[in-house]
Structure 1
Amino acid sequence: MRSVYLLLLRPAALLGLLAACALLGGLLAGALVWLAGWGWAAALGATLPLVLFYALLLPSAWELSRALPLARGRAWQGLARYAVAALLVGGLCTLLAWAWLEPAAPLAASLFALASGGYLLALLAADALQAWAGLRDAEHRAEQAQARAVEAELLMLRNQVNPHFLFNCLNSISALTSFDAAAARRMTLALAQYFRQTLALTQRDWITLDEELIHCRGYVEIEQVRFGERLRFDCELADGAGAALLPPMLLQPLVENAVKHGIAARSEGGTLSLRALRQGDWLHVQLSNPLANPLALAAAASPHELGTGTGLHNVRQRLLSLFAGRANLRLRSEAGQFVAEITLPWRSEP
């Protein structure tokens, strides 16, 4: 029987079964002592075969409850099936006792009640355990499905970043070729070097803020080939902030957005300013750039309308997937500056 084999593989369950049968054997032996006048030694020796037979029957309660769970159909129908099975087991044990012990009628009634009641309790306990195990298994499958969905979304978002960045760089190179071929060649070489140096980092799940700034500076250096002195980059990290972990290529889209929509649209250019600090269990990273048109924000219904392209959408979705609402990206305008601020939980170990 499969259930008996499984019991042999689970010592705790086997010990529980033996303890239950020992209790039943003690009660049956006590009934022989008090009702039939037997001695304890004779009573225990006579009830041992019955107890062993009952121990072989009890594991079938697990198989029966799995085949006919109470959750299938109406509850009263399931209880009726369990009651019939318990009565059959009780009757079988009583018939065996009659053949083995020839007990008096009161002892037969006690044996029938003990065997039937014990089997019914075993059925109910097995059904409850299997229902609990099924619930845990369903929760585990749901968690796995959610984790796979998040992993797939993050992979899609990560794969979206590099092409988006590459396309913008190629557009810049294309613009340079019409009036400065030498600068276009320098930018092409810088772009190739940038991808060689950063490819390994973008394949990791987490990198430090210091490593992420390699991406940002690399991108700024590439764009400085086109903008020259019009593009400046100022970075300031509070003590220890560089050790914070974050997903790779999280800040680079913000830098790219600032260059494309802020610096590039200003004849005098401007300075990108990045500030990062730790406050308790949170990391705050703020990137600001001068607005191309200070009146643009006033014409927009909200600051988010100033940046709703691929880069900012990518950042928001990655933060949502990775931190389940505990991290956010806020956009605002203050004193002629467009400010993008990321707040995320502090972590320094993967």
Structure 2
Amino acid sequence: MQGPLSTRRSMTLYLMVWLMLGLVLTGLVVSSTGAGWINGLLFALPMTVVYAFATGFSAYYLCRAYPLSQKGIGPILMVLGVAALVSGLLWTAAGVALNSLWWSLEVEWAGFAISPALKAMIFGLGTILYGLSAVAHYLAIEFDRARLAERRELESKLMAQEAELRMLRTQIDPHFLFNSLNSISALTSVNPAGAREMTLKVANFFRHTLGLEAHTKATVDDEVKLVRDFLAIEKVRFGSRLRVECDIDDDARPCLLPPMILQPLVENAVKHGIGNLTGGGVVSVAARRDASLLRLSVENDVDEDMPAAPGTGIGLANVQQRLATAYGHEGRVVQLRRDNKYRVELTLPAQTTREQ
């Protein structure tokens, strides 16, 4: 059988239903003719099995040729109605021929007298069963179509996440690389060892970011390591003006989250916060697990006289969109500003690799 009934499990279930219908037909034959159960089974079971395959193929191809989404209900009912009547008539004729074959054996356990009422009952049952088979095929086809649409939606969502991650890589402040190279150049004459160390940090940072994939989640530990590498490079440029604090709970370290979800927030904290303060300030990164939730935060000092709220650019919008795509309403982003502190808090479901 092709189409929705092509799998072994579907075929088994389909045949089991038709065998039960064969037993029902056997009971109708026995009760209406007074024949024995063996006579009824020899008549009903072969009839039912053959009709199962005949209606299965016929109804499937008609359902494919007349899809519900493209054809009107009138033409569909007309075609299926004619097909059901013809199938019922052919089934009745096949039953009469099969019974004649058994009757010709002239043995007590094969064949029986078929009355006009029984013929009419077989014809009506065959017509109804064909219609039910067509309905079952329509349901199976629509189910497969919905499942295919869901899979395509998931694939498109993964492709969108990959595109977002690639876009995020391109949004890493070009000045970050430019300033890092300038810092390396300045260090080569006064501190060659420091210049070499910074070169390795820049290389490791970009190697790490290029190896990330949107559909593969990273652990909090990996994200914090990426953030530390970024801040270590920036600290060479800012010196004592940039101070870093990390408060990561042990329970939060193995939790999973989208890759590079913290880096844009930390970059904003350095660029819009510390970069605008003459005396510098502190960038604080925290993570803790609160039962089924993972809570992350990035906080930095800001100029309290600055009227505009930082964090309204592309980086934060990208983080909000990626959380919404990955977790729906369970992923939240909250911005807080109090006096000379600006804080972004992320809330998402807490999952580890083992729990997932």
Same fold (TM over 0.5): yes
- Specify which of 62, 65, 75 is matched with residue 64 of structure 1: 62
Residues 183 and 237 in structure 2, CA contact (< 8 A), matched pair in contact too: no
Moved more, 306-315 or 339-348: 306-315
RMSD (Å) for aligned C-alpha atoms: 3.6
Give the whole-Å Cα distance in 1 for the aligned partners of 2:142 and 2:252.
48
Give the whole-Å Cα distance in 1 for the aligned partners of 2:271 and 2:221.
23
Q: Where in structure 2 are the equivalents of 1:267-278 lying within 5 Å? A: 267-278=278-289
Residues 173 and 184 in structure 1, CA contact (< 8 A), matched pair in contact too: no
Residue number in structure 1 paired with 2:291: 280
Verify: 1:189 aligned to 2:196, yes or no: yes
Give the whole-Å Cα distance in 2 for the aligned partners of 1:51 and 1:254.
68
Verify: 1:295 aligned to 2:302, yes or no: no
Residue number in structure 1 paired with 2:76: 78
Residue number in structure 2 paired with 1:170: 178
CA drift of 1:50 comes to 4.9
Cα offsets for 1:118-151 (capped at 9, x unmatched):
3333333333333333333333333333333333
Give the whole-Å Cα distance in 2 for the aligned partners of 1:348 and 1:8.
36
Residue number in structure 2 paired with 1:328: 332
Give the whole-Å Cα distance in 2 for the aligned partners of 1:117 and 1:222.
76
Residue number in structure 2 paired with 1:17: 18
Give the whole-Å Cα distance in 1 for the aligned partners of 2:297 and 2:39.
86
Residues 176 and 184 in structure 1, CA contact (< 8 A), matched pair in contact too: no
| Uncovered stretches (5+) of structure 2, i.e. residues with no partner | 101-112
Look up the SS of the partner of 1:240 in the other structure. coil
CA drift of 1:182 comes to 3.3
Identical residues among aligned pairs (%): 32
Structure 2 CA distance for partners of 1:181 and 1:318, relative to 1, 3 Å: same
Look up the SS of the partner of 2:312 in the other structure. coil
Cα offsets for 1:190-239 (capped at 9, x unmatched):
34211444456432433333333333333333233333322222223345
Give the whole-Å Cα distance in 2 for the aligned partners of 1:183 and 1:320.
48
Give the whole-Å Cα distance in 1 for the aligned partners of 2:264 and 2:288.
20
- Specify which of 220, 234, 250 is matched with residue 261 of structure 2: 250
The number of residues matched between the two structures is 334
Structure 2 CA distance for partners of 1:235 and 1:72, relative to 1, 3 Å: closer
Give the whole-Å Cα distance in 1 for the aligned partners of 2:225 and 2:2.
61
Look up the SS of the partner of 1:331 in the other structure. strand
Q: Where in structure 2 are the equivalents of 1:1-350 lying within 5 Å? A: 6=6, 10-33=11-34, 41-42=38-39, 45=42, 50=47, 54-59=51-56, 60-69=58-67, 72-97=70-95, 101=100, 103-157=114-168, 159-160=169-170, 164-165=172-173, 167-174=175-182, 182=189, 188-198=195-205, 201-202=208-209, 203-204=211-212, 205-291=216-302, 293-297=303-307, 300=308, 303=309, 306-349=310-353
Give the whole-Å Cα distance in 2 for the aligned partners of 1:156 and 1:78.
49
| Uncovered stretches (5+) of structure 1, i.e. residues with no partner | none
Using the size of structure 1 for normalisation, the TM-score is: 0.77
Structure 2 CA distance for partners of 1:45 and 1:133, relative to 1, 3 Å: same
CA drift of 1:86 comes to 1.8
Give the whole-Å Cα distance in 2 for the aligned partners of 1:46 and 1:321.
59
| AA of the residue aligned to 1:32 | T
Structure 2 CA distance for partners of 1:279 and 1:124, relative to 1, 3 Å: closer
| AA of the residue aligned to 2:285 | L
